Structures are given as structure tokens and as C-alpha cells.
Amino acid sequence: MTHKPYCQTVRSWLKNNLGKDCLAPLTGTDARALDAAVHLIDLWSQCRNPSSEILQAFGIVVCQMQRHTQGLAYHAIAHVLDWPDRDDVWSWAGLSEIPRPRTKCLMEPGGSVWTGLPMGMPAVKDSTRGVE
């Protein structure tokens, strides 16, 4: 059995990890760019070369999204790869100037499943619970 393309599953994955309203700000252009970004990360996963033109293309596509929706592309990296890969891919794609989202995904380390915070809430340092 073949799996569906990531662009067909990324929206439900994001909703499950960030909350049902996380996609509300997406315009048609944002949605298409998100689809393209996910396809590019899937393609890049076959070579994992930090200097690949595929990552340059990913960065260009993400920049076509509205600034406040670009964090969805950051989180979507983990849908194709893994949680720790997001920072490296973001940096290698030349997106270091774009802030990484403060909101944690439900299942990522430090996310709601691990901290007990409501889904989609930014994780902040809490010295009483030892949570960051």
C-alpha cells in the first residue's frame, strides 16, 4: 500500500499538532506554497545535502507565504522528517532571519503532551515545574 503524498496529509497533521484553527490564516497562495514546501522537503529527504538547491527552493517557496503563516512550513518539516530536523533545514534554507514559531506542536518534545499545557500554547520557562 502506498502512502498519500505529504501535501494531502499535512493539513490534518498540523491541525492535530497545533489545533483546529491553525490553518485559518492561510490564503490560497499560502496553501499552495505550503504544499510545495512539503513536496520539496520530501524530495530533499532523499539526499539530505545541506547545500542542495532543493533547500534553496524551499526557502524561496516559504518566502512566498505571508510572514505570519511561515511558521506552519517550519512545523511541517517534522511531518516529513523529524522534530530536531526543523532548525537545521530552516537555517540551511536561508530562513534564519525568519523567527521560528514560539508555539510548540502537541507531540514535539516540550509540547503539550509532555508539559500539560493546552495545545498551541507557547512553551515558556516555568521554574516551578522545570518546564521550558
Q: Which of 3-12, 15-24, 73-82, 111-120 bottoms out in mean pLDDT, i.e. has the lowest?
A: 111-120
Question: What's the mean pLDDT when you consider all of the chain?
Answer: 87
Kindly report the pTM of this predicted structure.
0.83
25 versus 2: the higher-pLDDT residue is 25
Cell of 113: 503532551
Place of cell 509540547: 111
Between CA 43 and CA 21 the distance in angstroms is: 28
Range of the domain at 26: 6-100
* For residues 46-50, average pLDDT: 95
Rounded distance, CA 34 to CA 11, Å?
9
Lowest mean pLDDT among 27-31, 91-95, 96-100: 96-100
**Where is pLDDT greater, at 43 or 121?**
43
Q: 89 and 112: one domain? A: no
Does some domain include residue 72? yes
Clarify whether residues 77 and 111 are in a common domain. no
Asked if pLDDT for residue 43 goes beyond 90, the answer is: yes
Q: Is the pLDDT of residue 131 over 80?
A: no
Contact predicate 87/113, CB 8 Å? no
In this structure, the answer to whether residues 72 and 130 fall within a common structural domain is no
Question: Quick check: is 67 in a domain?
Answer: yes
